[in-house]
């Protein structure tokens, strides 16, 4: 991926007037070769914002950092968010100084968000973050109301956005799900020595095809559902349905008996794909049937776990916290 100096420099400058809360003390957990850490470091240098940068997550270290530096804002991925949500009353990780938390890389379930607020009532805002290496952050979270803000916010002033039907490229109406396309002043040049891959990413009009499924409401707020390539196609009642793994994972993470979870699709002659859950236990007494029933009670029938539950010691994740589904499939033969 070719990222220009211009892309890194212009982002914090252009956002200066839009991210007023970013001037607070903050903690960021990201490896320094990842776009999040790189962008945040530039932001800190330009604005002078005090910050603590952690290259990897460790629960004990995290608690010490929060207690010592008392940040008012921090950004996490869903796995860290779940870790903090399952800390009753904040006894293990007091977040008395924190007023806002932003979570990115995957959608959060309402159940897990509510659980987090119950454990940490002093946190006023939970917001979603959206961005990718190709564009840094294209959207700005809005503090519309205290509590959970489910959207990824509005498109930044230096970007354009639209939602299109991935099958026929027709524009989607507000509320209709489709692929998010963006273009603007802070985007990648393309892939190094890969002209065909660059053409697939950036079209002739300069639009970046993000590969993310989402929708925009009547207020212009963006909601991300999942990655197109992650959707599991399930044949149910003679109809092909698309199951977003992130939705199921968000529900599973709200279960106090589950420490971490991942969803993958496995091939099946009759149904196309079966939905399989990989689960890290927080309670050794947790049974496969409990996991299946937990999903069945909360989601539509076609989203049920039909490919079984596999208990594992850990869910493989990238430095950004994204689930490495390919690794799960290779290791466990899914």
Cα angle value 178/184/186 (rounded, 5°): 120
Same domain, 159 and 272: no
pTM: 0.80
Residue-range definition of the domain harbouring residue 107? 1-228
Computed on alpha carbons and rounded to an integer, the radius of gyration of the chain in Å comes to 20
Domain closes at, from 201, 228, 255:
228
HSE-up of 27 (CA within 13 Å, CB side)? 26
Residue-level pLDDT at 281: 96
Same domain, 188 and 124: yes
User: The domain that contains 282 carries what CATH number?
Assistant: 3.30.300.30
pLDDT-derived band at 181, boundaries 50, 70, 90 = very high
pLDDT in tens, 201-212: 999 999 999 999
Same domain, 265 and 190: no
Question: In sequence order, what are the residues at sequence separation of 6 or more whose Cβ sits closer than 8 angstroms to the Cβ of residue 103?
Answer: 75, 76, 77, 78, 81, 126, 127, 128, 129
Percent of the chain with pLDDT over 70: 87
Whether the per-residue pLDDT at 193 is higher than 70: the answer is yes
Same domain, 193 and 308: no
Domain count, the chain: 2
Same domain, 223 and 239: no
Section 229-256 average pLDDT: 91
pLDDT-derived band at 158, boundaries 50, 70, 90 = confident
Same domain, 15 and 153: yes
Whether the per-residue pLDDT at 28 is higher than 80: the answer is no
DSSP 133-162: TTTEE-EE----SSEEE-S-BEE-TTEEEE
pLDDT-derived band at 174, boundaries 50, 70, 90 = very high
Same domain, 149 and 194: yes
Percent of the chain with pLDDT over 90: 39
Closest CA to 262 of 244, 242, 236: 244
Same domain, 222 and 325: no
Section 166-194 average pLDDT: 93
Helical segments of the chain, H only: 5-15, 35-47, 59-69, 78-85, 110-119, 195-201, 245-253, 288-296, 325-332
pLDDT in tens, 72-102: 888 788 888 888 888 755 566 678 888 888 8
pLDDT in tens, 221-242: 999 988 899 999 999 888 888 9
**Regarding predicted confidence, which is higher, 183 or 34?**
183
Same domain, 150 and 33: yes
Question: 3-state DSSP call for residue 83?
Answer: helix
Section 286-314 average pLDDT: 96
């Amino acid at each position: 991926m070719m990222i220009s100096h211009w892309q890194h420099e212009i982002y914090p400058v252009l956002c200066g007037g839009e991210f007023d809360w970013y001037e607070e003390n903050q903690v960021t957990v990201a490896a320094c070769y990842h776009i999040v850490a790189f962008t945040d470091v530039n932001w800190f240098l330009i604005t002078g914002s005090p910050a603590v940068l952690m290259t990897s997550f460790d629960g004990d270290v995290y608690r010490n950092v929060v207690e010592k530096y008392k940040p008012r804002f921090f950004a996490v991925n869903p796995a860290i968010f779940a870790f903090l949500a399952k800390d009753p009353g904040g006894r293990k990780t007091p977040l008395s100084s924190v007023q806002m938390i932003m979570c990115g890389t995957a959608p959060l379930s309402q159940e897990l968000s509510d659980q987090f607020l119950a454990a940490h009532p002093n946190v006023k805002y939970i917001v979603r973050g959206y961005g990718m290496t190709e564009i840094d952050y294209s959207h700005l979270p809005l503090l519309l109301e205290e509590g959970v803000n489910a959207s990824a916010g509005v498109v930044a002033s230096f970007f354009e956005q639209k939602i299109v039907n991935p099958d026929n490229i027709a524009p989607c109406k507000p509320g209709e799900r489709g692929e998010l396309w963006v273009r603007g002043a802070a985007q990648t040049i393309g892939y190094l020595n890969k002209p065909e891959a660059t053409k697939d990413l950036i079209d002739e009009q300069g639009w970046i095809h993000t590969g993310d499924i989402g929708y925009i409401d009547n207020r212009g707020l963006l909601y991300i559902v999942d990655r197109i390539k992650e959707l599991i196609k399930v044949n149910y009642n003679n109809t092909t349905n698309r199951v977003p793994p992130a939705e199921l994972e968000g529900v599973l993470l709200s279960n106090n008996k589950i420490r971490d979870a991942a969803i993958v699709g496995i091939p099946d002659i009759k149904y196309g794909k079966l939905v399989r859950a990989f689960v890290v236990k927080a309670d050794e007494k947790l049974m496969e049937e409990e996991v299946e029933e937990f999903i069945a009670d909360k989601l539509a029938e076609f989203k049920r776990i039909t490919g079984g539950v596999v208990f594992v010691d850990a869910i493989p994740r990238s430095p950004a916290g994204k689930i490495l589904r390919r690794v799960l499939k290779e290791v466990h033969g899914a």
